[in-house]
Chains A and B, each alone.
Chain A
Amino acid sequence: MGASVIRRTIATPVFLSLLLVAFAVTAWAVGSRPFNQTIIDIFLQVIFVVGLWIFVGNSGVISFGHIAFACLGGYVAAWTTIKPMMKGNAMPGLPDWLMGMEIPFWAAAGLGAFWAALWALIFGLVLMRLSGIAASIATFAMLAMVNSIYSNWESVTAATSSVVGIPIVRTVWPYLIAAVLAVFVAWAFAISRHGLALRAARDEPTAAAASGVNISRMRLIAFVISAAVMGMGGTLYAHSIGVVTPDTFYLGLTFTTLSMLVVGGMGSLSGAVIGVLILSSLIQVLRWLEAGVQVGASTFALPGGVQEIALGVVMILILMFRPAGIMGNSELNLPNRRSDKAGQPAPTRVL
């Protein structure tokens, strides 16, 4: 039966991955550099939102702090991939072994994931004892703490100055692979016994505890895994623009990531991915319109700032009319077969 859990839900990550592949192929076919960068940004945003979903979607605890893990990952890129000579100028306080390190971006991404997961374990041991709004506020405090440390530890992070010289990776494929990896990690967690126990605890914590579920431990596991995905995303983000500052990974990115999750729907992995794809596409279209579109002899352009206003309107409309997000609790899956035999849950159910 464990195998059948896999069979009956594998369609979800496969569909989502195909969607991402379609975006990547479009970027490759169009071949324009700005469009390529847009698709890379979308993949990075997918990684962040899916990483956040692993924790928020399964535990039901809203986290305002996950971008802190992206920050940890971003600085791993700075510490391990910048040429040693440049590193010495910007961050003279690094230990010798780190100063001399120059590893490829994908190895840095792995290290970024590990570094973020390690700190998630340390923070999580304390934070996961809290629940509800207290836990959410504590994650926000964590974000502020990490930002404050990285903004002030001059010799290791160059404080608030930009750390430049991170090798830039311009092709979409590594970002596509990482986004697909994030989707599969999220799916694997969701169908695992820990994922099931955590969703049960999200809906009925009292009954879950009476069913033997150690809720804070399940939350901690989800927290660490989701932090690893965020860390990987943070490292790759640094490689996409070649520079990091602490404020790259602060309130702005936190807000964007949370809104995309809210719009797509926290209840499902498909919601997380689709929220990113829809909102990012919308942002892009509005950007083009702001830049001006040739219609016959005249140029049509929206006034600047319409983009932000439109996003705000979309978010409010979703919250008013579809508070569970575009996808609600349902996943992209194979069409429903009414004759499902006993033991096969109804198709709309999350994994």
Chain B
Amino acid sequence: MSVLHADKVSVAFAGLKALAEVDLTVSSGQILGLIGPNGAGKTTLVNVLTGFQAPTSGAVLLDGAPLTGLKPHQLRRRGIARTFQGGRLFKDLPVLDNLEVTGVGLGQSRRSAIAEAEAMLDWIGIADLAPRIAGTLPYTDERRVAIGRALMGKPAFLLLDEPAAGMSAQESRDLAALIRRIAADMGCGVLLIEHNVGLVLDLCHDIVVLDSGAVIETGDPAAIRASEKVRHAYMGTAAETDLPILEAGLEVAE
């Protein structure tokens, strides 16, 4: 059982507060949702949790120990993995090699990295993509390869930055099934950033809502669904009726 905790994390860019004393905890096997309007600071928070952005104040703790000053590759080696918006695959390399890079990055030999990469592609259900050059993949396959690459070496935590963006309803459901397996079968703690609020409400045990860099609400899906503050943040007004965005399966316009 592992716990990744953001402790009063603040980030300021040239005086502008991107994050203000954000608290957040992800535990093994749990899926935590992170939602909020554009510019709320969700990606900045993921960057802090993975070492790409140093917090101006506050700290990230792994099982109680601060991770201050560690570089991205060091955090990855401690089991904190992430994906990026837009995939960021090694587009000139075959899919198999994309996964293999993480294996060798974590210190495996090419031989064992390839073996694990093959097993991982098989586990995700995209073994047939192995020889394809990553840059030629369609959108949805790109996302799944990126998730496979992040799962190499069985990380304790996986931070997914908008994995469902641009996916159809069916593709989103397939993705949801995969994320459930990652949490349940691998025991991975998942932080899911998503604009598809339906997907988040459907998948997550707990949800954190960010707006303008601050946490405005936390709770289980039912609590978030009922929250007046969340509605306000998303629509800019407190509506009287149930908002369509809170119905499972619907996508939110950005």
Interface residues of A (CB under 8 A from B): 1-3, 5, 191-194, 196-197, 199-200, 203-204, 206-215, 329, 340-346, 349-350
Query: B64-80 vs A: 1/0 string, CB under 8 Å?
Result: 00000001110011000
Q: Which residues of A are found within 8 Å of B76, using beta-carbon distances?
A: 209-212
30 contacts between A and B (CB under 8 A): A1-B111, A5-B110, A196-B104, A196-B110, A197-B104, A200-B90, A200-B93, A200-B98, A203-B91, A203-B92, A203-B93, A204-B89, A206-B52, A207-B149, A209-B52, A209-B73, A210-B72, A210-B81, A210-B150, A211-B106, A211-B149, A212-B77, A212-B105, A212-B153, A213-B104, A214-B105, A340-B131, A342-B128, A342-B131, A343-B130
Number of A-B contacts (CB under 8 A): 122
CB pair B88 A207 closer than 8 Å? yes
Given the interface pairs A196-B101, A329-B92, A349-B93, the reply to whether A343 lies near B113 with Cβ below 8 Å is no
Q: Which residues of A are found within 8 Å of B96, using beta-carbon distances?
A: 342-343, 345
Other A-B contacts than A211-B102, A341-B131, A349-B133, 10 sampled, CB-CB below 8 A, are A1-B118, A196-B104, A200-B101, A203-B92, A207-B89, A209-B52, A209-B73, A213-B73, A340-B131, A343-B118
Which residues in window 176-228 of B have CB below 8 A to A?
A: none
CB pair A196 B97 closer than 8 Å? yes
Interface residues of B (CB under 8 A from A): 50, 52, 71-73, 76-77, 81-82, 84, 88-94, 96-98, 100-102, 104-111, 113-115, 118, 127-128, 130-131, 133, 149-150, 152-153
C-alpha spacing A214/B73, complex, angstroms: 6
- Nearest A residue to B133 via CB reads A346
CB pair B131 A210 closer than 8 Å? no
Tell me the minimal C-beta distance from A324 to chain B in angstroms: 11
Tell me the minimal C-beta distance from B2 to chain A in angstroms: 17
Q: Which residues of B are found within 8 Å of A199, using beta-carbon distances?
A: 90, 93
Given the interface pairs A210-B50, A210-B76, A210-B84, the reply to whether A349 lies near B104 with Cβ below 8 Å is no
C-alpha spacing A343/B122, complex, angstroms: 12
CB pair B111 A2 closer than 8 Å? yes
Given the interface pairs A196-B100, A207-B89, the reply to whether A342 lies near B73 with Cβ below 8 Å is no
C-alpha spacing A340/B131, complex, angstroms: 8
Q: Which residues of A are found within 8 Å of B149, using beta-carbon distances?
A: 207, 211
CB pair B131 A346 closer than 8 Å? yes
Tell me the minimal C-beta distance from B157 to chain A in angstroms: 13
CB pair B114 A343 closer than 8 Å? yes
Of A5, A199, A210, most B-chain CB atoms within 10 Å: A210
C-alpha spacing A203/B98, complex, angstroms: 11
C-alpha spacing A200/B105, complex, angstroms: 10
Q: Which residues of B are found within 8 Å of A350, using beta-carbon distances?
A: 92
Given the interface pairs A203-B90, A340-B131, A349-B92, the reply to whether A215 lies near B104 with Cβ below 8 Å is no
C-alpha spacing A1/B107, complex, angstroms: 17
CB pair A212 B73 closer than 8 Å? yes
C-alpha spacing A210/B158, complex, angstroms: 11
CB pair B105 A213 closer than 8 Å? yes
CB pair A207 B130 closer than 8 Å? no
CB pair A342 B133 closer than 8 Å? no
Q: Which residues of B are found within 8 Å of A2, using beta-carbon distances?
A: 109-111, 114
C-alpha spacing A184/B90, complex, angstroms: 25
Tell me the minimal C-beta distance from A4 to chain B in angstroms: 8
Q: Which residues of B are found within 8 Å of A204, using beta-carbon distances?
A: 88-91
- Pick the 5 closest A-B CB pairs, nearest first: A2-B111, A212-B105, A193-B104, A345-B94, A1-B114
- Nearest A residue to B115 via CB reads A1
- Nearest B residue to A348 via CB reads B133
Tell me the minimal C-beta distance from B78 to chain A in angstroms: 10
C-alpha spacing A203/B91, complex, angstroms: 8
Tell me the minimal C-beta distance from B74 to chain A in angstroms: 8
Q: Which residues of A are found within 8 Å of B105, using beta-carbon distances?
A: 197, 208, 211-214
- Nearest B residue to A6 via CB reads B110
CB-contact partner of A212 in B106, B114, B115, B118, under 8 A: B106
- Nearest B residue to A3 via CB reads B111
Q: Which residues of B are found within 8 Å of A206, using beta-carbon distances?
A: 52, 84, 88
Q: Which residues of B are found within 8 Å of A210, using beta-carbon distances?
A: 50, 52, 72-73, 76, 81-82, 84, 150
Q: Which residues of A are found within 8 Å of B98, using beta-carbon distances?
A: 200
C-alpha spacing A110/B78, complex, angstroms: 40
C-alpha spacing A23/B93, complex, angstroms: 34
- Nearest A residue to B94 via CB reads A345
C-alpha spacing A192/B84, complex, angstroms: 27
- Nearest B residue to A194 via CB reads B104
- Nearest A residue to B127 via CB reads A342
Of A2, A200, A212, most B-chain CB atoms within 10 Å: A212
CB pair A209 B131 closer than 8 Å? no
CB pair A342 B130 closer than 8 Å? yes
Tell me the minimal C-beta distance from A322 to chain B in angstroms: 17
- Nearest B residue to A341 via CB reads B131
CB pair B90 A344 closer than 8 Å? no
CB-contact partner of A197 in B91, B94, B101, under 8 A: B101
C-alpha spacing A343/B118, complex, angstroms: 8
C-alpha spacing A343/B127, complex, angstroms: 9
Of A2, A207, A213, A346, most B-chain CB atoms within 10 Å: A207
Tell me the minimal C-beta distance from B71 to chain A in angstroms: 7
Tell me the minimal C-beta distance from B199 to chain A in angstroms: 23
Q: Which residues of A are found within 8 Å of B100, using beta-carbon distances?
A: 196
Q: Which residues of B are found within 8 Å of A346, using beta-carbon distances?
A: 94, 131, 133
